[in-house]
Amino acid sequence: MQKRKLGNTGLEVSALGFGCMGLNFLDGKGLNKKDAITLLRNAVERGVTFFDTAEAYGPYTNEELVGEGLQPYRKDVVIATKFGCKDASPAIGLDSRPETIRAVTEASLKRLKTDYIDLLYQHRVDPNVPIEDVAGTVKDLIQEGKVKYFGLSEASSTTIRKAHSIQPVSALQSEYSLFWREPENEIIPTLEELGIGFVPFSPLGKGFLTGIINKKLEAVDRRNVIPRFTEENIKANLVLVEALSEIAQQKNISTSQLALAWLLAQKPWIAPIPGTTKLHRLEENISSTDIILSTDDLAKIDTTVNGITLVGDRYPDFLEKQIDR
């Protein structure tokens, strides 16, 4: 698979990464440990070198899974994890105090079975801790060899600039897809100016852009708390999937592949991290890196999406309040 550099700090990853959260912590489903490890290793064998986890996924169990699954390939892969949630739970609140960052890093190193973390993100910006203190703490961890690169997640342009002035930010991880294009307004121009890579999570709109969601979700599905995934809003937003599906069919590719190829075409320093629990979906996603969208294709997609008004907030209130503005 092609490689991409995330910003100007030297961090190189596969063009498409792997979001590990769903392996055992999403949508009320998941894989048993053996199958999850097998899928992780299948991803490596197919060229994926970039894997994303967090202490909050589980909590803790996802890091343990990723650590065991990737241990045979440790020197060949980039592992990203995160700090910043109180007691590893976004529902409880945020905590990016320097002592917490250090404690979380030490615990993550053990769970990941490694002596360094490639990319350490602040999971959410903590309004009670100056971002300069956060960046300074990670800078110290980098100097100690426990962390290689610093990242932020869902941070505003102002916060990114402040952090970057203390410790160069290698990557920002935020939601970005044909289902959510807000980063185009301020975030992407800021990243381009500062030389910071972009790692879109939920690049398939939390599964909506796959085209397989067309009715009320199962009761155990974690997406039920997201306003965009109420039964009424799913029906209203299907117009987007139907329009994209028509374009995809004309190119003989899936809607998922179209959505990922579109993301990859936006900037050469964007590396999406779709997740899946199925090998055939993993292979489908990876194939999107070989799809070249022409200028006309991209213009057609933009015109189509810009003509559609989507409904529903992307987060429930308690998570929306944690977003840095």
User: Which DSSP helix (H) or strand (E) runs through 52?
Assistant: strand 50-52
The token pair at 140 is 């110290």
Residue numbers annotated as active site: 57
- What are the CA-CA distances from residue 30 to residues 21, 43, 277 (Å)? 9, 17, 7
The least confident of 93-107, 172-186, 215-229, 263-277 is 215-229
Question: How confident is residue 222, by pLDDT bands cut at 50, 70 and 90?
Answer: confident
Other beta carbons less than 10 A from residue 172's beta carbon: 30
pLDDT for 320: 86
Between CA 99 and CA 207 the distance in angstroms is: 36
What is the rounded average pLDDT of the residues 178-207? 98
pLDDT tens digits along 142-163? 999 999 999 999 999 999 999 9
Write the DSSP string, 109-166. HHHTT-S-EEEEEESS--TTS-HHHHHHHHHHHHHTTSEEEEEEES--HHHHHHHHHH
- What are the CA-CA distances from residue 267 to residues 47, 145, 180, 206, 259 (Å)? 20, 30, 16, 21, 14
Cross-strand partners of 96: none
Q: Is residue 207 part of a domain?
A: yes
Is the pLDDT at 26 greater than 70? The verdict is no
Q: Where are the alpha helices (DSSP H) in 182-294?
A: 187-194, 231-250, 255-266, 279-287
Query: Phi/psi at 16 (nearest 5 deg)?
Result: -120, 125
pLDDT tens digits along 31-50? 999 999 999 999 999 999 99
Is the pLDDT at 201 greater than 70? The verdict is yes
Q: Is residue 325 part of a domain?
A: no
CA 310 to chain centre: 21
What is the rounded average pLDDT of the residues 75-102? 97
Q: Is residue 228 part of a domain?
A: yes
pLDDT for 221: 86
Q: Is residue 217 part of a domain?
A: yes
Between CA 169 and CA 147 the distance in angstroms is: 13
Q: Is residue 266 part of a domain?
A: yes
Question: How confident is residue 27, by pLDDT bands cut at 50, 70 and 90?
Answer: low
Q: Is residue 68 part of a domain?
A: yes
**Chain-wide mean pLDDT for the chain?**
96
Question: How confident is residue 28, by pLDDT bands cut at 50, 70 and 90?
Answer: low
Query: Phi/psi at 197 (nearest 5 deg)?
Result: -75, 160
Q: Is residue 108 part of a domain?
A: yes
Question: How confident is residue 220, by pLDDT bands cut at 50, 70 and 90?
Answer: confident
CATH number of the domain encompassing residue 111: 3.20.20.100
Domains of the chain: total? 1
**Measuring CA to CA, which residue among 154, 160, 151 is closest to residue 194?**
160
pLDDT for 74: 98
Other beta carbons less than 10 A from residue 180's beta carbon: 19
Range of the domain at 193: 3-320
